[in-house]
Amino acid sequence: MGFKKSILVINGPNLNRLGKREPGIYGAKTLDDLQLELERTASELSFHLSFYQSNSEGDIIDRIHESPGKFEGIVLNAGAYTHYSYAIRDAIASVDVPVIEVHISNVHAREEFRRESVIAPVTIGQISGFGFASYKLALQVFSQEV
Ligand code: DQA
């Protein structure tokens, strides 16, 4: 059966700690739970999903560089790199694959430093504050023509 799109979900630093990490902010569910839930959403949308997590800036950049021709979209939670990684920003700008920035927490309702995203200007949009639903909403966006 042909997939409508292949989507790459990238989770950056500390997101492997989901479930243990500040559960009052990020919830009790784990990264494996997130993967399972997104695989379900992807199959409902007839998407093929690749799921990747890394704590390393360079590894995230390499995945972005390798995405053209393999993926029609990227859902990116860059974690704290969101706020200061010009290198990830430039990697996104270097490819023609649309990227949606997602966050589990509402970054605009937290510390001042989280309000700035250096990657937002090179993404097609940002979804922040809806828990795991932020990622599912991003998949829904890719099911539209973007
Ligand atoms: C986060 C928000 C970031 O500010 C933080 O550094 C994270 C997670 C989120 O999903 O809410 O690691 O991206």
pLDDT at 146 over 90: no
Element (H, E) at 127: strand 125-128
Number of domains in the chain: 1
Query: Residue 34: CB within 6 Å of ligand 1?
Result: no
3-state secondary structure of 115: helix
Q: What is the mean pLDDT of the chain?
A: 97
CA distance 131 to 133: 5
| Global pTM value | 0.97
Residues composing the chain = 146
Q: Which of 54, 55, 83, 103 to mutate to test the pocket of ligand 1 (most atoms within 8 A of CB)?
A: 103
User: What are 77-120's pLDDT values in tens digits?
Assistant: 999 999 999 999 999 999 999 999 999 999 999 999 999 999 99
3-state secondary structure of 6: strand
Ramachandran angles phi, psi of 24, nearest 5°: -65, -25
pLDDT at 1 over 70: no
CA distance 37 to 18: 14
Contact present, 127 and 73 (Cβ < 8 Å):
no
Residue that is written with structure tokens 């390798």 in the block:
66
Q: Is 103 a catalytic residue?
A: yes
Residue that is written with structure tokens 């009052």 in the block:
24
Range(s) of the domain holding residue 76: 5-142
pLDDT > 90 fraction of the chain, expressed in percent and rounded: 97
CATH number at residue 123: 3.40.50.9100
Residue 129, CA distances (Å) to 9, 24, 104, 106 in order: 17, 13, 5, 4
Catalytic member of 65, 103, 108, 135? 103
CA distance 69 to 87: 21
CA distance 76 to 12: 8
Query: Residue 63: CB within 6 Å of ligand 1?
Result: no
